[in-house]
Structure 1
Amino acid sequence: MSAVLNQEKKRTGRTPRPPERRQVLSPAQSRTLIGVAFRVPGVLLAIITTVVLVTLVSVNSELTGTFGAIAGLWFAVHLVPLSIAGTSLGVFPLLPTLVVAAVVVRRIARTMTETTTRRDCAWIVGAAVLGPLVVTALALAVAADASAAIGLSSPHALVAFAWVAGVHAVSAGIGVCVGTWNSDAVAERVPTWIGEIVTPTIRAASVLVAGGGAIVLVAMIASWSTMEMLLESGNGFVGFLGLTVLSVLYLPNVVLGSLAVAVGSSSHIGDVTVSLFQSVGGPVPPLPILSVLPEGAAQTAWMLMLIVPICAGILLGRECARRSVDVHYALSSVWLGAAVIGLCALVLGFAAGGNLGTFGTVQVTVWSFGLLVFAWLAVVGSIAAAVTVWRGGSKELPVPDVAPAGAVAVAAIGPPVVHEERAVDAEVVEEPDMVEAAPAVVDQPADDPAEDIVDAEVVEVPDDEQTSDEVDTETAATPDGDDKP
């Protein structure tokens, strides 16, 4: 008995096993996050290294400052302000930044699947930001070490981390939205009318960008002689190629400045100011793309640039009205789309500005740029949407078709089936020994189609009792739906 009691004590005193800990990430998820974190920065560093080496070799320069130049280009791509030989440089071309952002968006969107949860999205966005921050920390150390060789001062760490994190966080967020937009979870939470304004908003923004590009193209054609003179100042093929590449890289900045002028705001390059109402001259950098700046005072013909925001507003209003059921939804869609485009204009206008050494500050008037873009699109788009709805161009709600009682009965019965001994809708045929009688259809209320079912009997009539004017057919339907012969 004591042995049994001791055994029970041993069982009750046994230490329970701790529960198995759940893995935070599976091996497949870890590999995916590592790819998201370091693939785009790795490819970007490879491209930057190639450009630096080709540039240094083409100008017969020493390779002592290679690592410092690579770090400097990493900061320039992410719009981090730099100081080179005591000269501040805060205006960088937007084209490389936009390309990097587009690549990140595509990469993140392809990572999303139908089974991706919020937790997975958070991990992916965190990895997309953490990888570039690690590279930025290394670039800061390299820039501090190479400051004596090439005169590059290491930028402020917090500013560098903020710009890099901002570029990749915004790009990763857009990628998550693009990748999960068609999922069932998003479709359940987002109203239908909000999802339908994405296409009109993108088209209106495309009209604005195309209009700004058209303005720059016309200005380039008008000042082609000045552009050729600036290109020839490169002193050889290498200088010509370098100025051309720089002009292409700064093209989005110039298009953004022309768009700011088109909506009524102003652009500044040091002492130079350009707007629809005035033009103030001054010294500018010898960059060929800057030949689009006007050489004289403001002219009345510049008011034609207002066509760009007006066309974008009309397109936004018409597209929103055609996708909405009434004017209230159309106006809400127009104002929301205009707010999104205005916010994007404000952010891009802020990113495109900065200091340019002795020339001063290069910028657009950011607050008026974003506000005027929103105002033009909202006002013109609202008018266009109201007119479109008034003319009957809005989407109509589906109206269910109300079928008549007879059609409901036929639909319930189905198509007539012909048998050898019974036929529906048969004609009376005179035969020597048999007459087939046509069934009599009794009208019933529309709310009970089953009562319209009619049974017809074929009655054999002797030859001597058959008449040519009438046929005996007995068909009756009781109120409760039972048929009696």
Structure 2
Amino acid sequence: MSSRNAPVRERVPREATVPLGARINKLSPPPDLARSLLLVAVRPTLLSLTATIAVVLVVMLTSGTDLTNAPGAIAASWLAAHQVSVTVGATTLGLLPLVPTALVLWFAGRECARAVPERPAPIELAWLAGATVAGPFVMTAVCAAVMGDAAGVTALEVPSLPRAFAWMVLLYLATAAVAIVARAGETVCALIPVELPEWVAPGARAARRTVLRVLGCALIAAVVSFCLHLSRVGGVYSHAHGIADVLGMTVLSLLYLPNVVVATASLLAGSPIQFGVGSVGLFDVTGAGLPALPALIPVPAGPAQAWWPVLLLVPVAIGVLAGVELGRSTDDRAGAPWATLTSAGLSTVMLTVLAVLASGQLGAVGWVGPDLLVLPALLMSWLGLGGFAGMVLARRFLTRTTPGAYDFYDDEYYEDDDDYAYSPSATSEYTPGATSNESDDTSTELDAELIDDINDAPEVSVAAPGSTSPPADDIVDVEVVEADLPEGGPVTGR
């Protein structure tokens, strides 16, 4: 055989012939993945540190503070942005704003999600999670060392290192898990050795909607309460000395706005909010000294009004809505109760975690936040009972609207159903209430006859193209002649 006619072998890269899992099963990642892991570990940490330095320097320069305290203040602020308690002298600040934490974790999760490969292997996902944790872990150690060196200049106390490291690992592992599941959820589910029931996915989606609805209703309640107590604004800002204090109090209140919304959500569920020795609930209000902060203007001063317990219907109504959606959107009647229970349970867990993050020690005031022992039981009760009530309501009185359930039609499904007849219109839809013998003006009837022999076919007269006259009765014989092509010659579409 000549070299001209020899088959051409396509050169395939060696890595493409090896299965993905076998190619990744080594201790060091590939160079392209190593660069992505470096960015995941370094970029979010450097960005959050740069933002912290800028904010601390602006605050110190505008307030006239000596810049010799800047290193310790920067280190303490970076830890505070990750919900690590900071102690200055005898004052412990554990109630920290959620806005910086949300921004830092959002950027870290975004960077992790962008680095997820198209078909990730388990070892790649482990490397991504480790890279997401590595940067903040190292920076925590650096900040702790800086605070230790600054202890002689400022009254900063170094936090407990085991607790700070454990919290940082937990926080960023959860961020990496959410980012990976959002980007490669199918791959992650395939790694689970046990097959998840079908009702887990709709229950999780309903839980996400439930949490957003609870927080939305809490935001509306906080805004309404703020509008009802506008007379306190002048008294709060009277403690400010100059425009810098006014701006500082306003910005600090905006940073604490998510904390206020989470506390309001807990209050709507029936859990009282503790303010040191005092508390605010739907049934009782015990007065306590509150800091002069605009974010605390919506806090009612008491006494408790008789109509306040009506607000308990808010979480119940949200649970009913979730149950109605699950009852109308699932075909699995046996799994719908489990999906409702899953939705209530996951919603309770997420709202409780937010309540833990939004609570803490506030200096001389004491503990500020909801009752973390009563809150989960109340949330599970209202969302669970409301969900089951909504599911029963949807099954008995509402029609099912499953997305995609009637996107296509099977002739065998409607074979014995006289209430549906096919109408061959332009839209090709089934017309309810019509029988197979009825037709409207837009439909066209077609008569067909099965012919066993082609010679028995009826003769058809065809009019000439472009002719306006009807076809003649004469039969026109048409013969198709194929052009003779060169033997073995190429046939092109030109």
TM-score of Structure 1 vs Structure 2, range by shorter chain: 0.7 to 0.9
1:92 aligns with: 96
Distance 2:313 2:46 in 1: 44
1:401 aligns with: 411
Where structure 2 has 5 or more consecutive residues not aligned to the other structure, the ranges are 1-24, 417-447, 458-494
Question: Which of 370, 373, 376 does residue 379 from structure 2 map onto?
Answer: 373
- Residues 323-361 of structure 1 show CA distances to partners (whole Å, capped at 9, x for unaligned) of 210432222111101111101122222222222222111
Give the 3-state SS of the residue equivalent to 2:373 in structure 1.
Answer: helix
2:336 aligns with: 330
Q: Which is greater in Rg?
A: 1
The CA RMSD measured in Å over matched residues stands at 2.6
- TM-superposed CA distance for 1:241, in Å, is 0.6
Give the 3-state SS of the residue equivalent to 2:64 in structure 1.
Answer: coil
Letter in 2 for 1:196: P
- TM-superposed CA distance for 1:191, in Å, is 4.7
Question: Is 2:141 the partner of 1:137?
Answer: yes
- Residues 245-291 of structure 1 show CA distances to partners (whole Å, capped at 9, x for unaligned) of 11111111111111111111111011221111110001111112112
**4+ residue runs over 6 A deviation:** 396-399
- Residues 216-259 of structure 1 show CA distances to partners (whole Å, capped at 9, x for unaligned) of 11111111121232123211110001101111111111111111
- Residues 161-191 of structure 1 show CA distances to partners (whole Å, capped at 9, x for unaligned) of 1222222111111111111125596499555
Q: How does 1:373-452 map to 2 (within 5 A)?
A: 373-394=379-400, 400-402=410-412
1:455 aligns with: 453
Rate the CA distance shift 1:339–1:62 in 2: closer, same or farther, 3 A. Answer: same
Distance 1:49 1:257 in 2: 30
1:211 aligns with: 217
Letter in 2 for 1:180: A
% identity of equivalent residues: 29
Letter in 2 for 1:156: S
Question: Is 2:121 the partner of 1:117?
Answer: yes
TM normalised by structure 2 equals: 0.75
Give the 3-state SS of the residue equivalent to 1:282 in structure 2.
Answer: coil
Question: Which of 251, 254, 257 does residue 251 from structure 1 map onto?
Answer: 257
Moved more, 232-241 or 348-357: 348-357
Question: Which of 55, 69, 80 does residue 84 from structure 2 map onto?
Answer: 80
Rate the CA distance shift 1:317–1:145 in 2: closer, same or farther, 3 A. Answer: same
Letter in 2 for 1:304: V
Distance 2:294 2:78 in 1: 25
Question: Which of 54, 68, 72 does residue 68 from structure 1 map onto?
Answer: 72
Letter in 2 for 1:401: D
- Residues 273-330 of structure 1 show CA distances to partners (whole Å, capped at 9, x for unaligned) of 1111110001111112112111121112212322321231122112212321043222
TM normalised by structure 1 equals: 0.76
The answer to whether the 8 Å contact 1:279/1:297 transfers is yes
1:48 aligns with: 52
Q: How many residues align?
A: 397
Distance 2:68 2:247 in 1: 24
Question: Is 2:41 the partner of 1:37?
Answer: yes
Question: Which of 107, 110, 125 does residue 111 from structure 2 map onto?
Answer: 107
- Residues 425-457 of structure 1 show CA distances to partners (whole Å, capped at 9, x for unaligned) of xxxxxxxxxxxxxxx97xxxxxxxxxx763375
1:175 aligns with: 179
Distance 1:108 1:22 in 2: 21
2:277 aligns with: 271
Question: Is 2:304 the partner of 1:298?
Answer: yes
2:207 aligns with: 201
The answer to whether the 8 Å contact 2:199/2:338 transfers is no
The answer to whether the 8 Å contact 1:89/1:357 transfers is yes
The answer to whether the 8 Å contact 1:321/1:393 transfers is no
